[in-house]
């Protein structure tokens, strides 16, 4: 498939060198084929260092539509492709992460809701991805929509997910990503209490940093009172459009604000990335030769390298 209007051939300035090299092939089709081959071989390259202990990320930003779900599922799929056992916990009643991973989440399916309220162990809700045997998901069903209110009257309401996930230590997941709803309510608080790391996706658009201050204050509050281990370790710039000056400005602002927490890899805006969930697939499976797939692969490697034990870097 050739580039579409949604995928300009011009590489964004911050896109990693690997992505850039792939652009240098003679033709767009040639470049795409090269990328696809590189991605298919990613698993056998053995470049991905394993974390010394399970890494749990909360993917949060109370703004909707900034790329939380897309980033969670695609980084997870890219890590799984490279041999890491990876779990995505869908904590958004919309169930978009479940959909994107091709995971059953009809009402009645054992889900994050029952796990959260302590009705079932997390193991009982685990489903394996149809595309990768190392990739798993705890789906969200519409039942989760009521949880925000139900939780209010529950004992230890902020720590329920943490308690439920304690048993995950017995599973050998290398990575766990918790996909949050677009709010700072009790579901997101539960995710922040359950994870040591926060990954914030930021869309390269107007008002990108709007609301991030509020998110950071909430994170500080959770850290002070409920989860001293909590830190924002990773910021991902999403939906970058190299044709606009605005995108560069936003990227610069975000880097000035978050420094080296921001991954060097920037996720380009790409029609393919937005099409993939419609087929119950991540971009990694839907179109491995696309720039979107390559950028998520690069992002996953950066994330893995940053958390690797010193000697493996
Ligand atoms: N890199 C991208 N290029 C094009 N569309 C994207 C990209 N990332 C996300 N989208 C689309 O933008 C919308 C919002 O993304 P999503 O990940 O669902 O955000 P959130 O989970 O923060 O609400 C979705 O329709 C998604 O397919
Ligand atoms: Mg989402």
User: Closest-lying ligand to the alpha carbon of 60?
Assistant: 1
Check residue 13 and give its pLDDT.
43
Q: Which domain holds residue 285?
A: 53-306
Q: Whose CA is nearest to atom 26 of ligand 1?
A: 274
pLDDT computed for residue 21 by the predictor = 46
Place of tokens 């009705």: 119
Q: Is residue 31 domain-resident?
A: no
The rounded Å distance from CA 92 to ligand 1 centre is: 14
Q: How far is ligand 2, taken at its centre, from the CA of residue 90, in Å?
A: 9
DSSP state of 24: T
Give the angle 239-241-242 at the CA atoms, nearest 5°.
Answer: 140
Give residue 308's pLDDT. Answer: 67
CATH of residue 262's domain is 3.40.50.300
Q: Give the pLDDT confidence score for residue 279 in this predicted structure.
A: 97
Kindly state if the Cβ of 182 falls inside 6 Å of ligand 1: yes
The number of the ligand 1 atom at minimal distance from the alpha carbon of 238 is 1
Tell me whether residue 14 is in a domain. Answer: no
Residue 48 inside a domain? The answer is no
Instruction: Give the model's pLDDT for residue 43.
Output: 63
Give the pLDDT confidence score for residue 153 in this predicted structure: 92
Domain assignment present for residue 132? The answer is yes
- Nearest C-alpha neighbor of 175 from the set 245, 246, 89, 242: 89
Q: What is the pLDDT of residue 32?
A: 75
Q: What is the mean pLDDT of each run of 10 residues along the chain (313 residues)?
A: 42 43 63 73 71 95 96 98 97 98 97 96 96 97 94 92 89 95 96 98 90 94 97 97 92 95 97 98 97 97 83 46
User: Does residue 11 form part of some domain?
Assistant: no
SS3 143: helix
With respect to residue 32, please indicate whether it lies within any of the assigned structural domains.
no
DSSP 32-51: HHHHHHHHHTHHHH---PPP
Please, is 159 exposed, middle or buried when counting C-beta atoms within 10 Å of its C-beta (0-12, 13-18, 19+)? middle
Domain count, the chain: 1
């Amino acid at each position: 498939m050739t580039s579409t209007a949604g995928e300009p051939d011009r590489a964004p300035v911050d896109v990693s060198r690997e992505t850039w090299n792939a652009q240098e092939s003679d033709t767009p089709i040639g470049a795409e084929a090269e990328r696809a081959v590189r991605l298919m071989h990613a698993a056998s390259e053995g470049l991905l260092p394993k974390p010394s202990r399970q890494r749990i990320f909360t993917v949060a930003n109370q703004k909707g539509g900034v790329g939380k779900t897309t980033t969670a599922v695609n980084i997870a799929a890219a890590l799984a492709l490279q041999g890491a056992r990876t779990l995505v916990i869908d904590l958004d009643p919309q169930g978009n992460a479940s959909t994107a991973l091709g995971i059953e989440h009809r009402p009645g399916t054992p889900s994050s809701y029952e796990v959260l309220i302590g009705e079932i162990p997390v193991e009982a809700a685990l489903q394996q991805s149809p595309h990768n045997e190392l990739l798993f998901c705890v789906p969200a069903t519409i039942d989760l929509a009521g949880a925000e209110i139900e939780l209010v009257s529950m004992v230890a309401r902020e720590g329920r997910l943490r308690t439920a996930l304690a048993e995950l230590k017995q599973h050998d997941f290398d990575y766990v990503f918790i996909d949050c709803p677009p709010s700072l309510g009790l579901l997101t608080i539960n995710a922040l209490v359950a994870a040591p790391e926060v990954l914030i996706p930021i869309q390269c658009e107007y008002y990108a940093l709007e609301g991030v201050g509020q998110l950071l204050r909430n994170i500080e509050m959770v850290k002070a009172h409920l989860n001293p281990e909590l830190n924002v370790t990773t910021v991902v710039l999403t939906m970058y459009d190299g044709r606009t000056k605005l995108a560069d400005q936003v990227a610069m602002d975000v880097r000035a604000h978050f420094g080296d927490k921001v991954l060097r890899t920037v996720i380009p805006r790409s029609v393919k990335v937005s099409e993939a969930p419609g087929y119950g697939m991540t971009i990694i499976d839907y179109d491995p030769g696309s720039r979107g797939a390559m950028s998520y692969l690069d992002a996953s490697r950066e994330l893995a390298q940053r958390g690797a034990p010193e000697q493996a870097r």
